[in-house]
A and B are shown apart, each in its own frame.
Chain A
Amino acid sequence: MTTTTPAAPKTAKTQSTEYFEVGAEIKDAKAPGGAIEQKWSKRKFEAKLVNPSNRRKMTVIIVGTGLAGGAAAASLGEAGYNVQNFCYQDSPRRAHSIAAQGGINAAKNYRNDNDSTFRLFYDTVKGGDYRSRETNVYRLAEVSSNIIDQCVAQGVPFAREYGGLLDNRSFGGVQVQRTFYARGQTGQQLLIGAYQALERQVAAGTVTMHTRHEMLEIIIVGGRARGIITRDMVTGEVESHFADVVVLATGGYGNVFFLSTNAMGCNVTANWRAHRKGAYFGNPCYTQIHPTCIPVHGETQSKLTLMSESLRNDGRIWVPKRAEDCEKDPRQIAEGDRDYYLERIYPAFGNLVPRDIASRQAKNMCDEGRGVGPAVKEFDAEGNERFVRRGVYLDFAEAIGRIGKDGVAARYGNLFDMYAQITGEDPYETGMRIYPAVHYTMGGLWVDYDLSSNVPGLYVTGEANFSDHGANRLGASALMQGLADGYFVLPNTINDYLAGSSKFEKVDETHPAAVEALESVTDRIAKLLAVNGTRTVDSFHKELGNIMWEYCGMYRTEAGLIKAIGLIRKLRESFWKDVKVSGVNEDFNQTLERAGRVVDFMELGELMCVDALHRRESCGGHFRAESQTEDGEALRHDDEYAYVAAWEYTGTAQTPILHKEPLEYEFIELKQRSYK
């Protein structure tokens, strides 16, 4: 059984190069035909059901406890399945969904501003630059209202008005107010809601929680995902766990860039291990660079901090018109000497242009030498050291004049406090300095309409899959997708697969596939500990991050990407010769944990560069210098690239195989994005 239906290979021009080969096209075989409004109801009706009394006999492994994983674990536990839930943190409440600030979209139309399911669908497809699958996105918009209902019922304290009803705001480049929020801590409150529902099921005995366990391998038996290998991060014990189905809800891989707004522990290992065992990786190069982060302070920086882009609702972004003003105190720069470049270039949207445009323009301003703040060391495309000011002002002087300091504090107080604490500067007095940072990865394991990967029995939810956001994600849509997948989609599709599980082969520790998976993990750990070289794990991770940021970041060129692939291959060789991993496996060994993750990041980094290289168009967060309009805006090529790139693994440093899933737009007309 396979969940994908490979179509006959097209005679299309072979595009194979020394970096990849083109394989058969694939398509989603699960979304039913008919009107888009009917598809999800139809699919739910057609999906096979599992009798409630049989559910407890079926084991579901869920890796990850964020919005997508925690919500799924709670919901499947409530449904009566035997759920085994894993996380690397000390508690499921720590998952990085917690750090999302801004809000969550839902097509409630509470503001009477002409919002609808179709409009949210339309905005998400358009925002994703027409590189997402219509069917999945429509369903996301369709269940968005249920999410708000569910969270309110759980006690999530959304912002409310004096009448007691829920408040909304507009967010990130859309023209309706559909974003629900909980001050600047929406992700935290939604996650705690899911966490509480999860702990309720732990108490009820339907969910078994395995904290401080990291998934290091997947067990495939007879072509089906049947279990995982984990390492107990306290004792070092390598264990096998078996199930009827495996769900990966392991988040994004932004830490391939070393510096990102992800938590320090966020990693690609679970996804990458599944990829190595056959799961296709969809659109790995689609990375979102968030425009409003606090700039880098120096070489010892370990992570970047994002400030909600809701700040752009009231803040005005500018740089000095003249490079010689860049060192000045911003209060000394006259109004006429400031360049409010987003308002100048995009008068209709101004400071609220989508994230990719805001980010790229900030980079352009700094590349022109008009950046502000401390000059930080970096390397140019030729590898030469240089110092560049990487920052632009986000100024609230106008807003303070309009609604007063108290008004600004009421809206953004916690963000201002955070900024002051991190930088030691008072943003009420001087403009904030911001710069783009890696924030979200739209790419992830390829899934069909049911959220099943091409490996039967392996489901992927939330940021870990590639679906829904295309080449660029709209603000306040990540929380929506995580919870949609976890609460409403997966619990209504996984039953279709589990209904056949009584016929599955029995597996335990003695099965050759389980023995092989476990040994591959213990061998890898032993190999890491045996190198005993002279460089730390972090030094390799930072070097990888520099390569990725320079060549596979906001601005990508053919030559740069080819260079990056060569550099990553060299880095990987040098890692296995020279890395130093201290300690032993049978211990709480954080260096060993990081080393294993960096190994997988290095392989992923190469695939990201290959994906970026093959896609000779600019779309969403992916800007290819060779594909731009006369005035420097992104230029898509729908005739050649309106497809999902799903990559098949063939071996470390072997050329991967590209499977294209053509994207057909039946309900939305493709347009070049224009925010001018």
Chain B
Amino acid sequence: MSAVIENHHDDHHHGPAKGITRWLYTTNHKDIGTLYLWFSFAMFLIGGAMAMIIRAELFQPGMQIVEPEFYNQMITLHGLIMIFGGVMPAFVGLANWLVPMQIGAPDMALPRMNNLSFWILPFAFFILLSSLFMEGGAPNFGWTFYAPLSTTYAPPSVTFFIFSVHIMGASSIMGSINVVVTIMNMRAPGVTLMKMPLFVWSWLITAYLLIAVMPVLAGAVTMMLMDIHFGTSFFNAAGGGDPVLFQHIFWFFGHPEVYIMILPAFGIVSHIIETFSRKQLFGYSSMVWAMLSIAILSFVVWAHHMFTVGLPLAAEIFFMWATMLIAVPTGVKVFNWVATMFRGSITFETPMLFAISFVVLFTIGGLSGLMLAIVPADFQYHDTYFVVAHFHYVLVPGAIFSIMAAVYYWIPKWTGNMYDERLGKLHFWLSFIGVNVAFFPQHFIGLAGMPRRYPDYALQFADWNMVSSVGAFLFGFSQLLFLFIVLKTVMGGKKATAQVWEGAKGLEWSVESPAPYHTFTTPPELDWTPSKAD
């Protein structure tokens, strides 16, 4: 196998094909990584535009801009697009670019499947978005699509939604199989499991989570399909079914899913903090074990999303304790990052700024998560803006900041050009201020008693909603600056060295910038180990 690859690709002048077919037919991990990243950015802007509509409507009490039906479509699509179109494909894109380079492999193990897993995604989102123009409108039952609102009471477009979710699931499963096979089989000699860079580790664990839970999601939507079109009653109480069963199935997928959206971030942030602290990562093996524990625990905490459905006391207590337990490995990770910075030699380039604010703001989101685990208190928090604030803190300055940090960190390697540091910092500060002004007041709104998914609200919530909207607009429009910075870097800029960052360690920094179309066609000689070298 490797001999065949060498025969074909040893020639370094062999570059990409020209024109559109390069992107349609490509099996190159770097091209596919680029496709994923651009796709997720496009989805990020579309999902973001929907968030702008939501925040504009909530700017003041009363219905001003949209009708409640359309508002519900916006919150549903915003959630689905950001999760399945924004965050997940971005991480898959980063995995495509980085995993082979970080383990010294020539490409992903299953390159044709890699192409397929990307190219079905645009169809999935085309179907989902087209439902906006269908009679009865787009899905309007929230991204959690609880039955029977999403079955008996759903608009006809729900069938298209189900098909679209099936395609997204197939894409994710293929993508994760590819990651697992690549990591398990294609590491360069000497890259043992416990010497793998943490981003690779985080993706290995994420991929297993995806393979475990995406079929569960597929099962849930298939049961919905049967209920809607084939007369079954899985979730229909009138037919002897159980609406709570839907929630159990959904959250058995949904909870690991939220870790799918944060584990790769842990990997990214570990690399960046290590690089800009110019100091070896503190507690590498405890980082790995912490991620493994978080992943395993994620399968036994799902019902903490359902504390108010009327679970028996024993179940409430079990899920409360199990959920709180997750704080231990998560804490270990945060302490390790801080200990890495401690007595380091720190500089504050844009990736580091994003990474540091990731640690701070993700910790805030984690602590509010701990509060939500306390069942009696959750009776007051559940389904209020406190929850909205919590998960936006872990997803926006959590997952999304890590993706932005990763883009700034590795874009010199991808394009061969340095980004504009001044603009990068401006983008960081605008995003940082915007995100906090948008989401911090939502804690107050929630505690004061405003439920989530409300298109209109009582007057006592007006002030902080207005503040939150202003922050959201600032954050939203700042992302156009990000687009500009990325485009500017792709077009040109100061040339990057192979090393790029003074403190950077790892195989991807041993190849020139931009990384050649084919890297490591012969396995690299390791005179140091990627994560443990001094």
Partners in one complex: no
Chain A interface (Cβ < 8 Å from any Cβ of B): none
Chain B interface (Cβ < 8 Å from any Cβ of A): none
